[in-house]
Chain A
Amino acid sequence: MFSILRTIWLTFLHIFHKTETIEYPEVKPYLPPRYRGRIVLTRDADHNERCVACNLCAAACPVDCISLQATEDETGRRYPEFFRINFSRCIFCGFCEEACPTYAIQLIPDFEMAEYDRQNMVYEKEHLLIDGEGKYHGYNFHKEAGVDMGVKGKGEGKNEETPVDVKDLMP
């Protein structure tokens, strides 16, 4: 008997608490920057595509909803010819972002992606690629790698010696 009364009393007290429910869509909820929502492909500080089409995100994806094809421009820089995410399959786990060695693929705080037609959930590169750097600023994979892909020459990257002179006989 006492426990019933206590429960009623506690429930009654809730009337005076602050409500947790948000009047969405009139009121937008706060989403932390690292919220895992819609996926974007970002660019580096020089405004070039960050993605190097390494396929690691696709391999990490547990539902296999990322597919892409690598290609190269005339400087040898690798980028995706197409990049497709089937969001009707995506579980927003963020594994792709974890796997990405270039910070290209990022999940952002946006979940408003509902569609009437499931086919519209298939995003191509033009739908994914944004103009900015997203959450991670300043990183440019091409300056770290050893390959000359039109961004820096051999030996000009971070932590690189100038190329060996093969004809040099000095010990």
Chain B
Amino acid sequence: MPLEIMIKIQIDGKEYEVEPKKNLLETCLALGFDIPHFCFHAALGSVGACRLCAVKKFRNAEDTKGKIVMSCMEPVVEGLIISTDDEETKQFRAAVIEGLMTNHPHDCPICDEGGECHLQDMTVMTGHNYRRFDFKKRTFQNQNIGPFIHHEMNRCIECYRCVRFYRDYAGGKDLNVFASRNNVYFGRLEDGTLENEFSGNLVEVCPTGVFTDKTLKNHYTRKWDLSNAPSVCTHCSLGCNIIASERYDSLRRIMSRYNGEVNGYFICDRGRFGYEFVNDEKRIRKAEIRSGKTEILTEVDDSTLFSTLKDTFTANKKVIGIGSPRASLEANYALSVLVGSYNFYHGISTKEQDITKTVLNFLQQSGIPTPSLKQIEKADAVLILGEDLVNTAPMMALAVREASRNKGKEMAEKLGIPAWNAHPVMQVAQDAKSPIFIATPFKDSLDEVAETTFRGNLSDIAGLGFAVASALSAEAPTFKLTDKDQQSLAEKIALKLKNANNPVIISGINCGDEQLIRAACNIATALYSAEKKGVLSMVLPESNSMGLAYLEGKSLDDAISLTEKEEIDTLIVLENDLYRRATSTSVEQLFDRCKQVIVLDQLTNKMTLKADIVVPAATFAEAEGTLVNNEGRAQRYYKTIVNKNQVKESWRWLAEMIRIKTDSPSVQWKKFDDITSALIASNAAFAALKNYFSDADFRMLNEKIPRQPLRYSGRTSMHANVAVTETGIQPDIDSPLAFTMEGSHANPPSSLVPFYWSPGWNSVQAVNKYLDEPNGRMKGGDAGIKLIISVENAKTTYFKANIQPVELTKGEFLIVPVYQIFGSDEMSSAASTLSQRIPEPFVYLNPKDAEALKLEADELIQLEIDNTILKIKIRTEASIGLGMAGLSVNLPEMPFVDLPGRGKIYNMKVES
């Protein structure tokens, strides 16, 4: 980082050294001053709308009168003298709140924001406490804005944060401000579900109770009554940081947990509302055993389970284990120890495993850095190859949107307008955007920020990629596109990437095309070797896909072909619904050729119904675990719910099985730290974890870190219906956190922050007290540790371009996968509210192709691909190429289809 020259300013008679280019409000907040504010949000900048952040500014040391200014609109300059606690300013702020309060309803007791309300905090902070206004209050009608968010418009204080986030930041279209003067209304044109994928952030962005979490409403709990833990979102490969909150043994809500490198202040709706599966009735909470292949599963207690397992392991010699990219590193490692790494299978297809390994090897060896989301936000040119980011890595799409605004900020900067001054920056920018190129098979909502979009099949896209690489560097494999326009596009992209200071290449393995990955790697290599800049970000399919790639193991296909050759005694499947990863014929064959199948999982699915022994595994909310995200950042989640019934962490079950199987005390994993130290010792790549994560003995001022806020209520009553004698605090041997309100309430290390609270700041805005500066780093550094360390002076190697021209026989279509933010992730799809947003399975077809097949939109067609026959609805989509079809994949009702592939589409009216 270039060292900024610090400047001196004077606040309340004391001198401070601060960074220039900031506004006064963020500077004061960073210094720890409690300046009331509403409309300023560090990620959105300042607009000066609420007039609450007033401070007094003095012309010079002699000036005693001063003038009131809005601190959020005031740049910090050398020699600035201000006062934050001047009497006149205080009166001014109290008057602002008094004005806002004239229309505020008498709602706090029934308002879901109550107890964590920025407006409550500001009212108390400014000291307004008595209503002098004798007239009536303005009222509004509410809207039904969908299953995620509740709308209660009376509570609005017109700060404009919602529309600024929703429209200006997240690119939403369907929330707006209507009417005029004292009547302004924030809502939709008409009732209907908010469309934007980040709408849930309104809950945190809105300083009042206008937008509140509707899923929380179903089991409403005040913030002070929630028991929380720092956690990591498990619904895609980005690993956004979250706070998971519990009350009465159920998971109540997910909020974003600040991580300056990863998700910043926000998370996507899949991450926020996907949690309900933890409380679902489909959860497996008891161990079940089938006494014979034809018998039904019956619930058993631990001792019966263990004795059955003992018989199993004594009688059966050949035991294999299938791991999972959605299980933690620890659980996968424990399984590989149980069965031996030779018998450990990754539980993903050979293709997926190979591509993931290609990606990991490239990132480890090429010396090309892989960026965090924060770095992507800073990009001034972006090329996206193949990934539909909005649906496979939602927060990365948000980061790209932010990157698109860098051009405007740069233009404003030249005119002397600082980047935080949101409105003028927008005025200056108009439609100017940083160069962003999106090459994907069909359109998505991110297209609108693109300078140019490129549509084609996956080979076309890979071809474009190779052409860009070739245009960037003569060393790259020479590749020219025959189509003139395409070739000039490739050259244009190359030029823009070259001219940018922070170019970012984004691709991913979800479209399942290795050539595409290679093309992306080549572009990054060409750019890096020629210009010493450019970073490469790869999106992976699941929360721990990257972590799994670090472990030695074979693929799921290997396991299936193994069973073709020999019979297996016992198969252990860890948190993996194999029906989502291979055709049901091959999974069934795998089952048939294994005498006994043990499944550890959280939700009942096709697998657990077929298993001989079902073991109830803990979810992320009931376990500790480490996940490695797409940039190789290892992050840890901690349990927020005490395990009840027989539910236990997968690694604990597996440790138990190791004890039973080997009957030797050599593996003694009692606590989480035991297994992590074994994991760290097993692989040099994990060495960095050793000193990074605090172990369970870590103490803050000699005390554990409480999961519950100081005002946590009801502890002598919540379990009194069962037994009036109190059981005491549940011990937690696995982490430095404690299931209590007692302990050290000092700021813990960033990876252990269970909730944000600070005296006077009960709302989410308390997060500022945990940061170096607004929108900066967490104090002491952001959570998570990068396992991928880019090597210096790596040898430049290129992949060979190997693109086969696509030739289709008559009636054949090239089928590419279409992912859905709501539906394509396994666990979040089981969340009851989120599942209302899952679309019916569909196929995208070009309208011309549809016409040729005499099909109309929404008509059922028959799709034949690799022996799988699907009856599925079509959606006409003009952006998808002729001869191509996009098939919605991974939706709950969809069978496994190996994509990309070729298939035939029939009109059922004609054919049948």
A interface residues (Cβ-Cβ under 8 A, vs B)? 52-56, 58-59, 61, 63-72, 78, 84-86, 88-89, 101-102, 118-119, 121-122, 124, 141, 144-149, 154-155, 159-164, 166-169, 171
Instruction: Report whether A145 and B105 are in contact in the complex, using a CB–CB cutoff of 8 Å.
Output: yes
Which residues 713-737 of B sit at the A interface, judged by CB distance below 8 A? 713-718, 720-721, 723-725
Contacts of B717 in A (CB 8 A): 64-67, 84-86, 89, 122
Instruction: Report whether B139 and A65 are in contact in the complex, using a CB–CB cutoff of 8 Å.
Output: no
Which residues 79-123 of B sit at the A interface, judged by CB distance below 8 A? 105-111, 114-115
| Interchain CA distance A89-B720 in the complex, whole Å | 10
Interface presence of B185 (CB below 8 A) = yes
Instruction: Report whether B724 and A119 are in contact in the complex, using a CB–CB cutoff of 8 Å.
Output: yes
| Interchain CA distance A101-B115 in the complex, whole Å | 14
| A104 nearest CB neighbor, chain B only | B109
Report the minimum CB–CB distance from B870 to chain A (whole Å).
40
**Interface of A: prevailing SS:** loop
Contacts of B111 in A (CB 8 A): 147
Instruction: Report whether A147 and B136 are in contact in the complex, using a CB–CB cutoff of 8 Å.
Output: no
* 20 extra A-B contacts, CB within 8 A, seeds A145-B106, A154-B141, A160-B136: A54-B110, A54-B114, A55-B222, A59-B115, A59-B225, A61-B713, A72-B217, A85-B717, A86-B724, A101-B108, A118-B724, A119-B724, A124-B721, A147-B107, A147-B110, A160-B139, A164-B183, A166-B140, A168-B183, A171-B180
| Interchain CA distance A85-B716 in the complex, whole Å | 9
Report the minimum CB–CB distance from B350 to chain A (whole Å).
50
Contact of B178 among A64, A155, A166 (CB under 8 A): A166
| Interchain CA distance A161-B110 in the complex, whole Å | 20
Instruction: Report whether B724 and A169 are in contact in the complex, using a CB–CB cutoff of 8 Å.
Output: no
Instruction: Report whether B720 and A166 are in contact in the complex, using a CB–CB cutoff of 8 Å.
Output: no
4 closest A-B pairs by CB: A146-B105, A67-B714, A54-B109, A58-B713
Instruction: Report whether B110 and A162 are in contact in the complex, using a CB–CB cutoff of 8 Å.
Output: no
| B219 nearest CB neighbor, chain A only | A69
Contact of B225 among A58, A63, A149 (CB under 8 A): A58
Contact of A147 among B105, B138, B183 (CB under 8 A): B105
Instruction: Report whether B106 and A146 are in contact in the complex, using a CB–CB cutoff of 8 Å.
Output: yes
Contact of B136 among A70, A119, A161 (CB under 8 A): A161
Contacts of A64 in B (CB 8 A): 712-717
Contacts of B718 in A (CB 8 A): 67, 84
Report the minimum CB–CB distance from B132 to chain A (whole Å).
14
Interface presence of B181 (CB below 8 A) = yes
Interface presence of B220 (CB below 8 A) = yes
Q: List 10 A-B contacts (CB under 8 A).
A: A59-B222, A63-B716, A64-B715, A78-B220, A86-B720, A124-B721, A147-B107, A154-B139, A160-B137, A164-B138
Q: What sequence of 0s and 1s flags, for each residue 235-262 of chain B, a beta carbon within 8 Å of any chain A beta carbon?
A: 0000000000000100000000000000
Instruction: Report whether A101 and B109 are in contact in the complex, using a CB–CB cutoff of 8 Å.
Output: yes
Instruction: Report whether A146 and B107 are in contact in the complex, using a CB–CB cutoff of 8 Å.
Output: yes
Interface presence of B849 (CB below 8 A) = no
Contacts of A148 in B (CB 8 A): 142
Instruction: Report whether A146 and B155 are in contact in the complex, using a CB–CB cutoff of 8 Å.
Output: yes
Instruction: Report whether B220 and A70 are in contact in the complex, using a CB–CB cutoff of 8 Å.
Output: yes
| Interchain CA distance A20-B135 in the complex, whole Å | 54
Report the minimum CB–CB distance from B657 to chain A (whole Å).
38
| Interchain CA distance A168-B114 in the complex, whole Å | 32
Instruction: Report whether B220 and A166 are in contact in the complex, using a CB–CB cutoff of 8 Å.
Output: no
Contacts of A70 in B (CB 8 A): 220-221
Report the minimum CB–CB distance from B885 to chain A (whole Å).
43
* A59-B224, A86-B720, A160-B139 given; A166·B110 CB < 8 A: no
| Interchain CA distance A119-B712 in the complex, whole Å | 23
Instruction: Report whether A166 and B107 are in contact in the complex, using a CB–CB cutoff of 8 Å.
Output: no
Contacts of A147 in B (CB 8 A): 105, 107, 110-111, 152, 154
| Interchain CA distance A162-B140 in the complex, whole Å | 8
| Interchain CA distance A119-B719 in the complex, whole Å | 11
Q: What sequence of 0s and 1s flags, for each residue 645-668 of chain B, a beta carbon within 8 Å of any chain A beta carbon?
A: 000000000000000000000000
Interface presence of B65 (CB below 8 A) = no
Interface presence of B565 (CB below 8 A) = no
| A88 nearest CB neighbor, chain B only | B724
* A52-B110, A64-B714 given; A84·B721 CB < 8 A: yes
Contacts of A78 in B (CB 8 A): 110, 220
Instruction: Report whether B139 and A162 are in contact in the complex, using a CB–CB cutoff of 8 Å.
Output: yes
Which residues 170-216 of B sit at the A interface, judged by CB distance below 8 A? 178-181, 183, 185
Report the minimum CB–CB distance from B725 to chain A (whole Å).
8
Report the minimum CB–CB distance from A38 to chain B (whole Å).
16
Report the minimum CB–CB distance from A28 to chain B (whole Å).
29
Instruction: Report whether A122 and B724 are in contact in the complex, using a CB–CB cutoff of 8 Å.
Output: yes
Report the minimum CB–CB distance from A148 to chain B (whole Å).
8
Instruction: Report whether B107 and A66 are in contact in the complex, using a CB–CB cutoff of 8 Å.
Output: no
Interface presence of B711 (CB below 8 A) = yes
Instruction: Report whether B713 and A66 are in contact in the complex, using a CB–CB cutoff of 8 Å.
Output: yes
Contact of A161 among B139, B712, B721 (CB under 8 A): B139
Instruction: Report whether A155 and B110 are in contact in the complex, using a CB–CB cutoff of 8 Å.
Output: no
| B150 nearest CB neighbor, chain A only | A76
Which residues 267-303 of B sit at the A interface, judged by CB distance below 8 A? none
| A148 nearest CB neighbor, chain B only | B142
| Interchain CA distance A82-B724 in the complex, whole Å | 16
Instruction: Report whether A58 and B109 are in contact in the complex, using a CB–CB cutoff of 8 Å.
Output: no
Instruction: Report whether A67 and B713 are in contact in the complex, using a CB–CB cutoff of 8 Å.
Output: yes
Contact of A59 among B152, B178, B713 (CB under 8 A): B713
| A63 nearest CB neighbor, chain B only | B716
Contacts of A146 in B (CB 8 A): 105-107, 137, 139, 152, 154-155
* A55-B225, A101-B108, A102-B109 given; A166·B139 CB < 8 A: no
| Interchain CA distance A19-B114 in the complex, whole Å | 52
| A155 nearest CB neighbor, chain B only | B139
Which of A65, A67, A69, A84 is most buried by chain B, counting CB atoms within 10 A of its CB?
Answer: A67
| B138 nearest CB neighbor, chain A only | A161
| Interchain CA distance A49-B820 in the complex, whole Å | 44
| Interchain CA distance A160-B181 in the complex, whole Å | 18
Contacts of A84 in B (CB 8 A): 717-718, 720-721
Which residues 690-727 of B sit at the A interface, judged by CB distance below 8 A? 711-718, 720-721, 723-725
Instruction: Report whether A86 and B716 are in contact in the complex, using a CB–CB cutoff of 8 Å.
Output: yes
Contacts of A159 in B (CB 8 A): 135-137
Report the minimum CB–CB distance from A114 to chain B (whole Å).
15
| Interchain CA distance A168-B717 in the complex, whole Å | 52
| Interchain CA distance A171-B220 in the complex, whole Å | 40
Instruction: Report whether B225 and A144 are in contact in the complex, using a CB–CB cutoff of 8 Å.
Output: no
